[in-house]
Amino acid sequence: MDLTLFQQKDTFAKFIMDKLAGVSIDYHQVNLQIDKSRQEGSAHLKAAIVLLLHFKKTGHQPGYVFQLIKRSQKVSQGGDISCPGGMLQPRQDTFLNFILKTGILPAVRGRRASRTQKVDRQTAELINLFLTNALREAWEEIGLNPLNTKYLGALPSYTLSMFARTIFPVVCMTRKPFKYQLSSEVEKMVEIPLSYFFQNEYYATLHVKTSLGADTQSFQYETPCLVIPDDRGNEDILWGATFNIIHNFLRIISDGSLPSINSSRRLEKILTNKYLSPKS
């Protein structure tokens, strides 16, 4: 992939839309499966996230970055890097989606799934619903004005292994810089240049293990992660669902030209009850 595309604001946005236009979106089928499981007593939840891109003119080199959040210790998975987003609120998000659908807000009238990806009517409606869900959560978490976004497309759903939850990701870009207004759920914003994912030096292997108490069987596994340095000499770790969703997005737009993850650096993360549920 030509990485100089990351430095071309309008060209790269159009490039993403063209690449996502051919992606198969599974929202209708997955949504039906979740609804069926809930009717049978499952507590499986639906959530939407916005993979937020921003063209940053300042810094060493202009180019696109991912605008992500670091979760505070007041919420589950505290300390993790994730995309803005959260649980679907069916009544609220359906009502907000209806307002957008009617075109009451001209600036978002063109932000409809059917304009960017070839999907059936049911899938298009679900994409629009989860787009509304994700942008509502982004407004609450970081103060992102929906009118300051451009919708680029949807990504396939992602089901978590540790939680009864499925994520429905949408991709947007911010039209102009904005001042972050962080809720208590967010410790800080983390901006990651897209170019980092194409350089082996930022990758590592994360050894994850649990420490959930004597009555719970522990487990461990290894997974790739991205190490993100800041300007204070500290590092954040991108791993898990967010890493996988971003990696899949970049795999799609780069036609699989991401580097093979082969890092000798090894890190460790211990998951406790506080990580899973801060109230426990």
pLDDT tens track, the chain, 280 positions: 899 999 999 999 999 999 999 999 999 999 999 999 999 999 999 999 999 999 998 767 789 999 999 999 999 999 999 999 999 999 999 988 887 766 544 444 445 555 678 889 899 999 999 999 999 999 999 999 998 999 999 999 999 987 899 999 999 999 999 999 999 999 999 999 999 999 999 999 999 998 877 677 788 999 999 999 988 889 999 999 999 999 999 999 999 999 988 778 999 999 988 888 876 4
Report, in angstroms and rounded to the nearest whole number, the Rg of the chain calculated over CA atoms.
19
Residues with Cβ within 8 Å of residue 67, at least 6 apart in sequence: 52, 53, 54, 84, 142, 174, 189, 191
Distance CA 239, CA 223 (A): 8
The rounded distance, in Å, linking the Cα atoms of 269 and 267 is 7
Given a contact cutoff of 8 angstroms between Cβ atoms, the answer to whether 200 and 262 are in contact is: yes
Q: How many domains does the chain have?
A: 1
130: domain CATH number?
A: 3.90.79.10
Q: Where are the alpha helices (DSSP H) in 112-158?
A: 121-142
Q: For the chain, how are helix, strand and coil distributed in percent, rounded to 5? A: 35, 30, 35
Using CA atoms, how far apart are residues 80 and 63, in angstroms rounded to an integer?
24
Domain residue limits at 66: 3-276
Which class for 123: exposed (0-12), middle (13-18), buried (19 or more C-beta within 10 A)?
A: buried
CA distance 47 to 45: 7
